[in-house]
Structure 1
Amino acid sequence: MPKAVRELLQNGHSYDEPDRMPKNISITNLDLIMYVVAIIGHFVDLAVDLNVAVRYYLAKEMEAFGWTLAFILFPAFVNTAVSIRMYSQDKQQDSLTNEVTRRHWLRIFILVLQMAPILRFTDALIYAVKSRRAERKNDPASQRLYYHLMLKEDSDAALLRIFECFLEACPQLVLQTAIMLMGHQQFTLHQSLSMTSSLVGMGWCLAAYQRAVRFAQEDKLNVTWCGSAMQTVWHYLLTLSRVMSVAVISHLFPYWTVLACSIHILVMTSWIQLYERPIFCAQTRIAEISFSFALGCVYLFTYILSVEGRTRYRYAMYYTMCFIENSACGVLWYLYIRDEIRYSTVFYIVLVLIVVPYVLGVTVMVVYYSFLHPTLRNKNEAVSVAFKVNDQTFEAS
């Protein structure tokens, strides 16, 4: 029995070795660097947004301060609730990763400092280092164990990053864009920093989530780096179009925008409850509806797969609805924008950002599913094996 497993069993943990692991489970320097970058990036995003909120408060822009602070606290609350639920599941299952639930003081940091993704990324980094050390010691059993734990932490952290990016980064980007269109230019530098940090994190977090989930699902092929890049571009472009559409309508009709977004979220929540029903919080009805509502808020900007199944029709329905909404926002921008903006370059830039990224994003998505989706590689491998079997049978005969 490997030393790592023996120590964990002695501490009262159970051990369920995974049925199948990827062929290459070596931890590279790039893997470690990416975890460090993710941790640092989280702190930078939070610091930039807090800086903008403070600037609004000092300038007596209380409405902008309130919305900015709300878009910091709400995703923090959601991430805290989801993270505690994850730790609760780990403890119920006597998971090897449940030792962090005994550190009660860390929960305070999770709640106050929005640290939920950081804890998961830190644990993933620790397991990655341990897996690498086991590889150097020529201990393949421990290497596999820590690699499996790293994948589990990585997939949990990626889900938390989804909520952080699309409940915090995207709303912040909408808010700062709407404020800039209204002519509030006192803190343009700080707004630009906030918008830039949001833009950088939006596309990658969703591609990282899908890649992490597929790594953790041992019965599926992993997404290639080229496929991850295509996913990043696809989600980045579509989300950029959605953000700009919501921002311009927020600038024109702020109160009606709140109503329209609420209706969209309720429709998405109902869709999740009726047709998807993720099992993550299925133990209680209130927890299930709350998690569906959080996902419905994410669906205001993008669509993530919460359950297995055929995705073609779900994507078609969702993106068709979003295209209609974006088109309506573009028409309202064209009809109701004030004259000083209508005769400026900003007017045309906004129209382009509403339409062009959406069309390009859908095109990239179609290309990805046509040529780069792992299922295609699975089919190609099956066809290749069939040809080899047929050739051997033909030679034998």
Structure 2
Amino acid sequence: MSEDVDCLPSATSSRKLSLTENGHDKVDALPAYMKITWLHAFLPFISLSIYVYDIGYNIAVAVFHYSNKDYWYFGLTLTFILIPTLVMTGISWRWYVLDARKQEIVQYKNLKLIFILQRLGLFSRYLESIFLTIYFIIAKDTSEKKECYTFVVYADTIANKLRFFGCLMGSAPQLVLQIYILALQNPLYGDNRFMLFTQINSCLASLVSLSWSLVSYQRSLRLSLPNKVSLTWQGIAVQFLWRFSVIAARVLALALFAAIYNWYISIVCGVHCIIMFAWIVSMKTSFCENRCEELGYNAVLAVMYIFCYFNPVDSPTRYRYAIYYTFMFCENTLLMTLWFTKAEPHLWYRIPAFVGHYMSFFIGLLYMLVYYLVYHPSKSCTLEI
């Protein structure tokens, strides 16, 4: 596999333009990499729609748990909704303050309404990204387009970064929780089929949200570097299927194991994080300015590695993917085997879940190979025998 980009040194590391004293680029024509179409404006809209879909079904599930007097499930479900929302809103507000001080965001007259919506956190960031993209497309003046482009990329990167970390705090644990509850209920919630439908849709929404956040964040990062070719629509679709399938297998293994072994899952995740943290530190990442903050960033990545791999350094990823997915396969196999041997023999989903886990995992790896061999922007990937 060739070089891939998943991480930037900082949130403001977007494409920089060389400007003259009056603020305009010396060249009259737009550089080749400044290509943004109406389809680019549609991607943040998709992200915003998935976010609403995810939040909506999670709230509906929380209401059902409360109405059925399952206050423990209600509390956990609500926690995984509120905490990510509050954290994303707080971070977004802080970045707005820093942007205002550094004057790194251009407040176009037609877009001032977006900045009034700051308190909506992620909503305002996605709206900002959509409207800045539209503004860039309809602008006629080349110098104005060049000035706007940096802020289009910046807004898109920040929105996707917020959603990505929000998914790690909310969608991922929410997905494990709801599958865990479904497994315990076996899986009907009494005779309330609408509750079952809502829970299944909540799981699907969280899985789609987490998978899409990974893909959209990587797309925005590639867009922010002039030496990187942007992802194609086919590449985005295949990468989404790759992430969706692998994460689905991982979450299924964690949730089913937790359904029988309960709090032992915390030991599994804890050991996993320690191993991943040591591995990430050995990569010598350079995301933060000091060592303490860098170790904190490594710890966040280690937690994220419970569910998926995220490239922390800009270099070829072939061997790191092989190491990570081999480790995940062995760990998932252990979890699924322990669950399978302890689960009731007459459990209707015992065989389908066991087989489905492996099908989903290997289909995900197949999509990953297709992405790197056919749809990766560099188109320089080869299989080594």
Give the TM interval when normalised to the shorter protein.
0.7 to 0.9
Q: 1:297 aligns with which of 303, 312, 331?
A: 303
In 2: Cα distance, 1:16 partner to 1:240 partner: 48
**Cα distance, 1:47 vs structure 2:** 2.4
Q: 1:282 aligns with which of 273, 289, 293?
A: 289
State the match for 1:125 in structure 2: 130
**Cα distance, 1:48 vs structure 2:** 1.8
In 2: Cα distance, 1:164 partner to 1:47 partner: 15
State the match for 2:328 in structure 1: 322
Asked whether 1:194 is paired with 2:198, we answer no
**Cα distance, 1:38 vs structure 2:** 2.5
Aligned ranges for residues 84-233 of structure 1 at < 5 Å? 86-87=95-96, 90=99, 93-96=102-105, 109=119, 115-134=120-139, 138-183=140-185, 185-186=189-190, 187-233=195-241
Asked whether 1:269 is paired with 2:277, we answer yes
Secondary structure of 1:182's partner? helix
In 1: Cα distance, 2:94 partner to 2:289 partner: 11
**Cα distance, 1:82 vs structure 2:** 4.7
CA change 1:373–1:104 in 2 (3 A) is closer
- 1:128-181 Cα offsets, whole Å, 9 max, x none, are 1211221xxx31111232233111211221222222233322222211111111
**Cα distance, 1:241 vs structure 2:** 0.6
**Cα distance, 1:74 vs structure 2:** 3.6
Secondary structure of 2:310's partner? coil
Contact 1:53 1:65 in 2 (8 A): yes
Aligned AA (1:328): L
**Cα distance, 1:366 vs structure 2:** 2.1
**Cα distance, 1:243 vs structure 2:** 0.9
CA change 1:18–1:67 in 2 (3 A) is farther
In 2: Cα distance, 1:193 partner to 1:218 partner: 39
Higher relative contact order (CA 8 A, sep 6+): 2
Q: TM-score, normalised by structure 2?
A: 0.80
Aligned AA (1:305): N
In 2: Cα distance, 1:18 partner to 1:47 partner: 48
Secondary structure of 1:374's partner? coil
In 2: Cα distance, 1:17 partner to 1:284 partner: 37
In 2: Cα distance, 1:63 partner to 1:321 partner: 33
CA change 1:104–1:265 in 2 (3 A) is farther
State the match for 2:6 in structure 1: none
Q: 1:25 aligns with which of 13, 35, 48?
A: 35
Secondary structure of 1:180's partner? helix
Aligned AA (2:121): A
**Cα distance, 1:231 vs structure 2:** 0.9
Unpaired segments ≥5 residues, structure 1: 1-13, 110-114, 380-397
Aligned AA (1:200): V
In 2: Cα distance, 1:312 partner to 1:257 partner: 29
State the match for 1:347 in structure 2: 350
Contact 2:47 2:212 in 1 (8 A): no
**Cα distance, 1:270 vs structure 2:** 3.7
Q: 2:379 aligns with which of 376, 380, 391?
A: 376
Secondary structure of 1:218's partner? coil
Secondary structure of 2:145's partner? helix
Secondary structure of 2:379's partner? helix
Q: Which has the larger radius of gyration?
A: 1
In 2: Cα distance, 1:306 partner to 1:76 partner: 25
In 2: Cα distance, 1:339 partner to 1:213 partner: 48
Aligned AA (1:282): E
Q: What number of residue pairs does the alignment pair up? A: 350
Higher helix share: 1
Aligned AA (1:354): H
**Cα distance, 1:268 vs structure 2:** 2.5
Secondary structure of 2:263's partner? helix
In 2: Cα distance, 1:75 partner to 1:129 partner: 29
In 2: Cα distance, 1:93 partner to 1:21 partner: 26
**Cα distance, 1:86 vs structure 2:** 4.3
Which sits farther off after the overlay, 346-355 or 161-170?
Answer: 161-170
**Cα distance, 1:378 vs structure 2:** 10
Secondary structure of 2:105's partner? coil
**Cα distance, 1:296 vs structure 2:** 2.2
**Cα distance, 1:118 vs structure 2:** 2.0
**Cα distance, 1:83 vs structure 2:** 3.6
Which sits farther off after the overlay, 314-323 or 15-24?
Answer: 15-24
Asked whether 1:365 is paired with 2:365, we answer no
**Cα distance, 1:278 vs structure 2:** 4.2
Q: 1:62 aligns with which of 67, 71, 92?
A: 71
Q: 2:56 aligns with which of 47, 52, 67?
A: 47
In 1: Cα distance, 2:127 partner to 2:380 partner: 33
CA change 1:153–1:62 in 2 (3 A) is same
Contact 2:208 2:244 in 1 (8 A): no
Aligned AA (2:360): P
Aligned AA (2:234): C
> Kindly, what percent of the aligned residue pairs are identical?
27
State the match for 2:318 in structure 1: 312
Contact 2:283 2:313 in 1 (8 A): no
Which sits farther off after the overlay, 88-97 or 47-56?
Answer: 88-97
Secondary structure of 2:189's partner? coil
Which sits farther off after the overlay, 354-363 or 79-88?
Answer: 79-88
Secondary structure of 1:73's partner? helix
In 2: Cα distance, 1:218 partner to 1:18 partner: 18
Q: TM-score, normalised by structure 1?
A: 0.78
Contact 2:157 2:217 in 1 (8 A): yes
Secondary structure of 2:283's partner? helix
In 1: Cα distance, 2:122 partner to 2:276 partner: 25
Aligned AA (1:359): F
